[in-house]
Structure 1
Amino acid sequence: MWKSAKEGEPSWDSPWGHGRPGWHIECSAMSLKHLGERFDIHGGGTDLLFPHHEAEIFQSECCLGHDPVVQYWLHNGMINVDGEKMSKSEGNFWTVSEALQNVDPLVLRYALINAPYRQPVDFNTVMIEDSSSHYGRLLSSYSEALHVSKESHIGQYEIESLNISSERLINGMNDDFNTRKALVEIQVVVKELASLLQSNDRDPIRIGEYVTWLEEFAGGVLGILPPRKSASEFYENKLSRRSEIESEVERLLEMRDVARESKDWSKSDKIRDELHEMGVVVEDGPEGTRWHVL
């Protein structure tokens, strides 16, 4: 609670000698000043469980006479970089502002919530690429659904599969804020919506129900959906980009079909990779090959 004075450090006189408040009492004092004698949630990393938070609990409850002072303690896992603990001494320390110079904010958010918050997260290129791919599907489907539904966006949803996903997502969040389970349901709904958008039955009202669901859960609960205006601009840019590259994509797809028919899988994969570098996703299905721009 009270540390003896060391040369060069701020210090004060006290009945216990010349010194300064300890680390633990600093946090108890800040909590009391800014949050009051009782508050709901106290966060921190798993590395603070002991002794810091344990000491903070003891001294706050003894001082205030409340048990408990804090209702819920949430301890997040640590961030590793390529399997190594993030630290300044290792030279692999990134601030959020530095990360955002290379990664879209919503992709970064998607990546960080794609695991239960108590677990450590390994921040690496594969993680970001995977999250970017999933987020790209979400944004692509949502932006197109906004365009198709227009005024048919009805503000509610009655589709059974959406109600099932709602229940599962809420149950996941109620399970110690398991955002990983919630994201699984987002992916399920995005896959359903993508299939609906590619079908011949593009019912605007039905698609509007998916828009409502995504805005409620992907947007309202998880915060990984952009504003409608941004999504609409994304869709317009995607249409423009598709128009620019359509003839080249069709040419490459014809070459890929020939390679697949002759079972030249190496060439087929090479063409698919070339299309991916152009920002084109190729999907093979029973009805043939479809493609869309990320």
Structure 2
Amino acid sequence: MSSNTILKKHTKRSSTGATFTWIVGIILLVGGILVMLPFVWMIFSAFKTESEVMQIPPTLFPKTFTFGNFSNLFENMNFAVYLRNTMTVVLFSFLGLFLNAMAGFGFAKYKFKAKDKLFYLVLATMMIPGQVTMIPVYLLLNYMHLTNTMIGIVLPGLVGAFGIFLFRQFMSTIPDELLEATRLDGASEWRTFLQIVIPISKPILAVQAILTFIAGWNSFLWPLIIANDEKLYTLSVGLSLLKGQYAGNYALQMAGSAFMVVPIIIIFVFFQKHIIENYSISGMK
């Protein structure tokens, strides 16, 4: 076979590969636009008046920007209370993140009786749907008189098997010699954990912090079950109430939805690289 023939085949394959890449790119672009269009329309509709939202044909950009919908949320719909409760849940979730790190470190670096069996038991809880344990947890909290309290809302979510697993996988790679050297220098176990283990574990702490924030920000079902007082509701529950009480006010609903969704989108866009990378690292280790 001559060199010209080989060159032609190679050129043809390159051209076919480039065409296929362009086709896939166009399909992904169109799909991305179709997926983003409802979110973009929701955000812009939050700044429209109710009459403009109901206008036919619909408009994408508001003719006149107004913040009246957001003002109505905080002045008449108690969204300030819902936001405070949601931030409380998020802050306590970060405390739970620290507890998960401690448990992961214990499973990774300490030797004690039945350690592996206990770790497998912790992993087994990941296979149990949360809906199955809600009633037993509710009964326990009711027995402790913690229903309809903020403690009852945040307590069941302080620790989780998934977080313990990720921390254990990452911390297992920390050299034992480094920890032993720290102990020989007179450092306590607590100091070793805070000054050596935590700084080394910043990558997995970052991704867990992101996931913890997203989970706390979107908390809906458990606060709805455990709390009877509207003063303890989170933003997700408040948004559900908004949909029921103001079903016909679409501009107000768009404002509430945008207030819930935009922070999550921003965090995911900026930190998605860390999420994907650390999932891969934890899986390989």
- Name the TM-score, length of structure 1 as normaliser: 0.28
Q: Which has the higher helix share?
A: 2
Q: Which has the higher contact order (CA 8 A, sep 6+)?
A: 2
